[in-house]
């Protein structure tokens, strides 16, 4: 029997993450992702995914220092980024630049050092090329800043305020890993051939680039921009629902209850949102939208999904839509690396079969 898209087919055993769509749970190595997002740093969760344990202070400091050292672009990569055509989008650029890193230091068998190195450098690639596209001077990394703080600093040239760092870091933790999705499967298939970690990550980036996977929050950011003020929210939402139009940022294909990633971001945004107009607006719009969705579509149980809060976070820090999928990629690279490491532990090359439906001809 052919199962198109391999939906529901178990292709691997994993200890990395677990998704329970019915109960709205996302688990990383035994820990609820929503709890990690509100209490841990990006680097701590990377360590958890790569080592299958929480780090002590010494282990965490060692990982931080290594990633801080590895976030700088080598000269040859800057030259490549400068020479790529102006009409290449950021995801195409990222795919090409990551591929250029595939030197001997990344050869099979993958290591945690390789995982940390590639996770550390991806935000710098994004920020460097982003400035080149805008005609502004790239901002060099600052070694003393945290991973997320440094990413925002490289994009803007300004040390970000704590509420922005907190919101973006929570988002990046919550999108680091999400089971055997399309890009993660791509990474594991490539790695199963005993190809290098760079090739596996480059293939995953190519998959993430597709609009059915990486997506963009442009419709949600447009909604928040149109509403603009809290007093406009109820009328705007009622008009939308009265026209029987979809309210973007609500409902999810996997989760049949509140998306746990959205729940965690909601908690963080409610705690820091008063410091930021757009985070405060997003928290208000969410509550009003859920109230009105129940009124217009009773019993449908349409809850906020992670895209809504991703859009709120991106809008609050003035991150343009073109940076959304690259930022998603920057966070997910840690999860891809965890799966590549796990694949190598007990490797068998993926070799599915295809059901031939063509003709048999005589010459």
d(CA 149, CA 132): 21
Classify residue 356 by burial, with Cβ atoms within 10 Å: 0-12, 13-18, 19+. Answer: exposed
Contact present, 70 and 169 (Cβ < 8 Å): no
d(CA 303, CA 288): 12
Contact present, 166 and 264 (Cβ < 8 Å): no
d(CA 192, CA 345): 10
d(CA 223, CA 214): 20
- From the list 147, 164, 178, 252, the catalytic residue is 252
- From the list 149, 177, 286, 307, the catalytic residue is 307
Indicate the DSSP class of residue 286.
H
d(CA 274, CA 209): 34
b/e string for 36-67 if b means 16 or more Cβ within 10 A?
A: bbbebbbbbbbbbbbeeebbeeeebeebbebb
Told to judge if 131 belongs to the known catalytic residues of this protein, a careful annotator would answer: no
**Residues annotated as catalytic (active site), given as ranges:** 252, 307
């Amino acid at each position: 029997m052919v199962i198109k898209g391999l939906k529901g087919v178990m292709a691997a055993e994993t200890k990395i993450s677990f998704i329970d769509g019915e109960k709205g749970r996302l688990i990383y190595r035994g820990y609820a992702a929503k709890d990690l997002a509100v209490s841990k740093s990006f680097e701590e969760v990377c360590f958890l995914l790569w080592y299958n344990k929480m780090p002590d202070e010494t282990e965490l400091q060692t990982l931080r220092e290594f990633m801080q050292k590895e976030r700088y672009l080598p000269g040859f990569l800057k030259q490549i980024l400068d020479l790529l055509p102006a009409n290449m989008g950021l995801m195409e650029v990222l795919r090409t630049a990551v591929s250029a890193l595939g030197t001997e230091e990344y050869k099979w068998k993958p290591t945690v050092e390789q995982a940390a190195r590639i996770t550390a450098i991806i935000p710098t690639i994004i920020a460097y090329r982003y400035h080149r596209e805008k005609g502004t001077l790239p901002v060099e990394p600052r070694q003393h800043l945290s991973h997320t703080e440094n990413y925002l600093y490289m994009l803007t040239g300004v040390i970000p305020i704590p509420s922005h760092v907190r919101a973006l870091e929570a988002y990046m933790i919550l999108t680091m890993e999400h089971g055997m999705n399309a890009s993660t499967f791509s990474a594991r298939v490539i790695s199963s051939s005993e190809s290098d970690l760079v090739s596996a990550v480059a293939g995953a980036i190519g998959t993430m680039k597709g609009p059915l996977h990486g997506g963009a929050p442009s419709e949600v950011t447009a909604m928040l921009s149109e509403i603009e003020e809290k007093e406009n929210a109820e009328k705007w939402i009622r008009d939308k629902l009265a026209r029987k139009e979809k309210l973007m940022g609500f409902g999810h294909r996997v989760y049949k209850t509140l998306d746990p990633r959205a729940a965690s971001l909601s908690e963080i945004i409610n705690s820091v949102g008063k410091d930021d107009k757009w985070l405060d607006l997003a928290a208000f719009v969410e509550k009003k939208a859920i109230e009105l969705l129940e009124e217009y579509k009773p019993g449908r149980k349409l809850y906020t999904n992670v895209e809504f809060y991703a859009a709120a976070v991106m809008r609050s820090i003035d991150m343009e839509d073109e940076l959304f999928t690259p930022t998603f990629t920057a966070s997910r690279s840690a999860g891809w690396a965890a799966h590549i490491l796990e694949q190598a532990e007990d490797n068998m090359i993926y070799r599915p079969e295809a059901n031939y439906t063509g003709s048999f001809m005589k010459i």
